[in-house]
Structure 1
Amino acid sequence: MRAKTSHDTNPVVEIKYSRSKQGYIGSGASGIVNRAPNGDVIKSPWPGSRNAEARRDITTESLIYERLGQHPRLIQTLGFDPESCVLTMEYMPNGTLKDFLAANNEAISTAQRLRWARDAAEGLQVVHDAKIIHCDVEPKNFLLDEDLALKISDFSGSSLEGSRASACAGRRYSRPGFDFHRQQTVSDDLFGLGSTIYFIITGQIPFEELPSDEVEKSYKDQIYPDVSGINCGSIIRQCWDSEITSAQEVYDYFRDMEYKE
């Protein structure tokens, strides 16, 4: 199953992947993403006043990919040029989980949703095992290959071995009382994982009907979307309530669910 993805050229918020064969794909906080004529994805730092920070972030991302190595839940990197700070990666033809699910929500089976939830947890555990905090766990940062296999991506703002992060998740994916000036932790990523799984299962962002500032207030009051009537609602709520201590627990939950079917 393949999907058409919308073309978003927001230069600050997030990286987007399109289905274009070459040229401009999108942009993010750290740089510009293009598709080379050979099909590879090229990430380059912003020029001008943002260049130094962008180069730092992309260099960090390259170090993280080097540490992580190859894994089915990770984007494959094909090279990094330290002089130009250009990172080369594999192309993911079905784009972001966010865009794909939004475009195909009615056609996606429960089994596929559960696989994505399981795979998101697996990918995040691989990241945490390497002493990395992703810091921006949202559907926009999970990509889908030609077989709809899910892979976690975009480590340009992540924390490596306790380094200061330069990214954070949006309000619907951030823990109550989030403070960008404090060190982010595994718990921050797990909260984002809970919200991501909610999106995967329901096809809706948490509190879709509310503006972001009201979502933040609800979270501070420990009020979350009702998950009592949805599949795997209990594990989502445990992520939100910080009752889960590792992504491995979430992965095990979905793996056990498969065995019971």
Structure 2
Amino acid sequence: MQHGNLREYIRRNPTQLNDQVRGSWVRNSVSAVAFIHEHSVIHGEMSARNFLVADDLSLKLCDFVGSEIGSDKPPLITEEDRYRKSPNLPRSVQTDLFALGCLMYEIMVGKRPYKEDDHEDWENIAEKYERGVFSCLRGFKLLGRTMWDVITEAQIMRFWPQFVQNHEDGSTFPVDPIQLFLGNCDVSQVTAALSHLLRSPLSASHNPNTGDAWWRLPVTYLTTPTDHSMPRVHQEYYAEACQGGGWVKD
């Protein structure tokens, strides 16, 4: 692909990227990760270097040399420093989602998390991640709304019954929605909020009694010759105690 990888494309075209392009990239990347997880594949090396920019500017996930299918063996290849929470964590849905969050940060901001701290030892940044100190996306906008708003919207979707109940009696939402996201997130809710924000079609069935939702994602974006013939993905997996949302926290 003539445009090369995402990181190089952002570096070469910093003034040509608008909200629509960045928003499409976020949606492409979430869709691709959802697809491989639906098929029990852990990528294990996700970063802006491993997404290629196609001629139509869509993203294609590539480089599966470090991926696993249901394996508990130590990984041969891991994410780059600022895309992994800890070098000691086994590769999992959780570590992929943390890397996905870092990717979304790089898409929106144009640089890796803690890029300004390149002089710091990786151990210091890993300690920040462990303590829940993340580069903040508050203030960065996607089609006129902040990523903070998107995550908050995702939380309202996930915990809709509690949200309605607590507002009907005049009280406030009982827990900071970002803290709630960190402990109870479901990537499908984030996908739904992003898709709604980007005005992209999704079909969904929602259970108002439990707040659970199952979302159908669009054809996913992967570097395979049959990616356009792939069926729409039925995403129904949860990332328990997911840290993939950490990238939006102050």
TM-score grouping bracket, smaller chain normalisation:
0.5 to 0.7
Amino acid at match of 2:195: R
- TM-score (normalizing by structure 1): 0.58
Confirm whether residue 245 of structure 1 aligns to residue 186 of structure 2: yes
1 CA distance for matches of 2:189 and 2:76? 27
Residues 36-185 of structure 1: matches in 2 within 5 Å?
92-164=1-73, 165-175=75-85, 177-179=86-88, 183-185=90-92
- TM-score (normalizing by structure 2): 0.60
Residues 166-245 of structure 1: matches in 2 within 5 Å?
166-175=76-85, 177-179=86-88, 183-210=90-117, 211=120, 212-231=122-141, 232-234=146-148, 235=151, 241=182, 243-245=184-186
Cα distance per residue 1:73-110 (max 9 Å; x no partner): xxxxxxxxxxxxxxxxxxx2211001101111221001
Distance change >3 Å, CA 243–CA 197, structure 1 → 2: farther
Structure 2: give runs of 5+ residues left out of the alignment.
153-177, 201-250
Percentage of identical aligned residues: 24
2 CA distance for matches of 1:233 and 1:214? 26
Give the SS at the match of 1:254: helix
Indicate the structure whose relative CO is greater, using CA pairs within 8 Å and at least 6 residues apart.
2
Residues 12-31 of structure 1: matches in 2 within 5 Å?
none
8 A Cα contact 1:118 1:250, kept in partner: no
Cα distance per residue 1:122-160 (max 9 Å; x no partner): 000110011001011111110011111101011111111
Amino acid at match of 1:253: A
1 CA distance for matches of 2:184 and 2:22? 23
Q: How many Å apart are 1:204 and its aligned residue?
A: 1.5
2 CA distance for matches of 1:195 and 1:137? 9
Distance change >3 Å, CA 242–CA 195, structure 1 → 2: farther
Amino acid at match of 2:189: E
Give the SS at the match of 1:118: helix
Aligned partner of 1:48 in structure 2 is none
Aligned pairs, how many?
165
Give the SS at the match of 1:198: helix
Give the SS at the match of 1:94: coil
Give the SS at the match of 1:101: helix
Cα distance per residue 1:138-184 (max 9 Å; x no partner): 11110011111101011111111225332211121112x341xx531
2 CA distance for matches of 1:251 and 1:153? 21
8 A Cα contact 1:142 1:153, kept in partner: yes
8 A Cα contact 1:172 1:206, kept in partner: yes
Cα distance per residue 1:50-76 (max 9 Å; x no partner): xxxxxxxxxxxxxxxxxxxxxxxxxxx
Amino acid at match of 1:249: Q
Give the SS at the match of 2:191: helix
Distance change >3 Å, CA 227–CA 243, structure 1 → 2: farther
Distance change >3 Å, CA 243–CA 96, structure 1 → 2: farther
User: RMSD of aligned C-alpha atoms?
Assistant: 2.4
Amino acid at match of 2:70: E
